[in-house]
Amino acid sequence: MNKDKRVQSKPAQKEPIKRNKFRKYVPSILLFLLFEIVAVTLWLVKKNLFYLLNFSYIGGCLGLGTALFTAGKRYARHFIQLAVGSYMLLYLGVISHENMQIEGFWYYLFLGVFEAATIHYAVAKIFGPLFFGRGWCGYACWTVMVLDFLPYKQPQNPRKEKLCFLRYVMFILSLALVSGLMLIKIANLEQIMFWLFIVGNVLYYILGIGLAFVLKDNRAFCKYLCPVTVFLKPMSYFSFLRVHCDESKCIHCDKCLRVCPMNVEVNKESRKRKNGTECILCYECTKDCPTKALH
Ligand code: SF4
Ligand code: SF4
Ligand code: SF4
């Protein structure tokens, strides 16, 4: 009789394991569905098939990439960055002449047009961060798809708080540049916006790579210079997706602080943790925590 019981209990145990395995992938599925809702809504509202294809592609890459990441594939984040980043940089920017940089956002905003860069900013950088925080910075940005291959994944020096004001300087400069060009009613502004996109990106790569080597920190450009963080930081404070810390399990080994590329004080649970709005959801900290306090 005992033997019978043992034989019967095996399939019953397998079910919860299968369910747990599936549950791990729910955020990836939700992310894909979120992008599908945006894709279908914009396709129907704007009557333009491009939006369906564009957001389905990006959502598909993000869903697949985050699922690979959850499955423990180390290349997953690079895969998403390259798939989404190069599509936006090369196809949308260089081939289709859409300026998706912050200058393009100002340009479309002042024209009162809700397309291309204004939609991109609304989804990825202004309202999206309420759900997925700075997921854009961890998985899709075409600037760091290059910077993340540099040798300083973990910052080798303490954060330079005094340099953070530079992001506001960059933000104001981009706003002043586009509003100035529009006020003087310069001819061929569309063409100029395209060249601003090319020059702006080359400049960002030069500054990003230079700063990474000087400060020994791949993400130095993100921390000090990137103007987009002026939008990203306040919105991601309220992010639904975030790394939680069960402080009762923390043994203060500081491993998480050492591996974090963004200097987040992740061994605190509070949203007010130091540099909390810098988190790019890379989950390097959760992999290294010896007590599984981070999840
Ligand atoms: S901070 Fe700026 S450069 Fe860095 S990943 Fe985010 S958007 Fe890209
Ligand atoms: S290591 Fe952790 S706290 Fe730091 S950016 Fe990545 S997920 Fe956020
Ligand atoms: S790695 Fe884990 S145990 Fe160590 S300080 Fe961070 S949260 Fe605490």
23 vs 18: CA distance, rounded Å:
9
207 C-beta neighbours (distance < 10 Å), count: 17
- The number of angstroms, rounded, from the C-alpha of 166 to the middle of its chain's C-alpha atoms is 21
Angle at 39 between CA 195 and CA 23, to 5 degrees: 120
Cα-atom radius of gyration of the chain, to the nearest Å? 21
248 vs 252: CA distance, rounded Å:
10
Q: How confident is the model at residue 186 (pLDDT cuts 50, 70, 90)?
A: confident
Give backbone dihedrals phi and psi of 2, rounded to 5 degrees, phi first.
-60, -40
Smallest CA separation from ligand 3 atom 7, residue: 267
Over range 142-147, report the average pLDDT.
96
40 vs 53: CA distance, rounded Å:
9
Report the atom number in ligand 3 closest to the C-alpha of 288.
Answer: 1
What residue segments make up the domains of the chain, in order of their start? 1-73, 247-288
Q: How confident is the model at residue 289 (pLDDT cuts 50, 70, 90)?
A: very high
Ligand 3 pocket test, candidate residues 264, 266, 267, 295, most atoms within 8 A of CB:
267
Identify which ligand lies nearest to the alpha carbon of 265. 2
For residue 289, give the H/E element and its range: none
**Token pair 């790394």 is at which residue?**
243
Question: Tens digit of pLDDT for each residue in 70-104?
Answer: 898 889 999 999 999 999 999 999 999 988 899 99
Spacing, Cα 60 to ligand 3 middle (Å)? 33
Ligand 1 pocket test, candidate residues 209, 221, 233, most atoms within 8 A of CB:
221
148 vs 266: CA distance, rounded Å:
21
